[in-house]
Amino acid sequence: MITVKNLSVNFGAMRAVDDVSFDVDVEETFGLVGESGCGKSTLLRVLCGLNRDWHGAITIDGSTITPNRSRAFFKDVQMVFQDPYGSLHPRHTVNSVLSEPLVIHRMDRIDARVAAMLDQVGLGPAFRYRYPHQLSGGQRQRLAIARALILEPKVLLLDEPTSALDVSVQAEILNLLKDIRQMRKLTCILVSHDLAVISYMCQRIAVMNHGQILEELSPAQLTGTTGHHPYTAQLLTASRGYDHTLAQELPES
Q: Could you say which residues in the range 84-113 bind other proteins, by CB under 8 A?
A: 86-91, 93, 95-96, 100-101, 104-105
Is 190 buried (19+), middle (13-18) or exposed (0-12) by CB count in 10 A?
A: buried
How many angstroms from the chain centroid is the CA of residue 146?
A: 14
Q: Does 238 bind other proteins (CB under 8 A)?
A: yes
Q: Considering the rule CB under 8 A, would residue 142 count as an interface residue with other proteins? A: no
Spatial distance between the Cα atoms of 167 and 187, rounded to a whole number of angstroms: 25
- The answer for residues whose C-beta is within 8 angstroms of residue 58's C-beta and 6 or more apart is 2, 3, 4, 5, 7, 46, 47, 64, 65
Q: Work out which of 109, 133, 183, 227 binds other proteins, going by CB under 8 A.
A: 133
The DSSP output letter for 131 is -
222 binds other proteins (CB under 8 A): yes
144 binds other proteins (CB under 8 A): yes
Restricting to residues 43-62, name those near other proteins by CB under 8 A. 48-50
Our CB check for other proteins shows the closer of 112 and 246 to be 246
Question: Of 165, 149, 168, nearest to 157 (Cα)?
Answer: 149
Please give the size of the binding site for other proteins, defined by CB under 8 A: 75
Residues 182-221 that bind other proteins (CB under 8 A): 193, 195-197, 199-200, 219-220
- Closest contact distance (angstroms) between CB of 143 and other proteins is 11
Contacting other proteins within 1-20 (CB under 8 A): none
Q: Give the HSE-up count for residue 236: Cα atoms under 13 Å, Cβ half-sphere.
A: 19
In the bound state with other proteins, the residue whose beta carbon lies nearer, of 112 and 250, is 250
Q: Tell me the C-alpha to C-alpha distance, in Å, between residue 48 and each of 8, 42, 135, 193.
A: 15, 10, 26, 20
Tell whether residue 21 is a contact of other proteins (CB under 8 A).
no
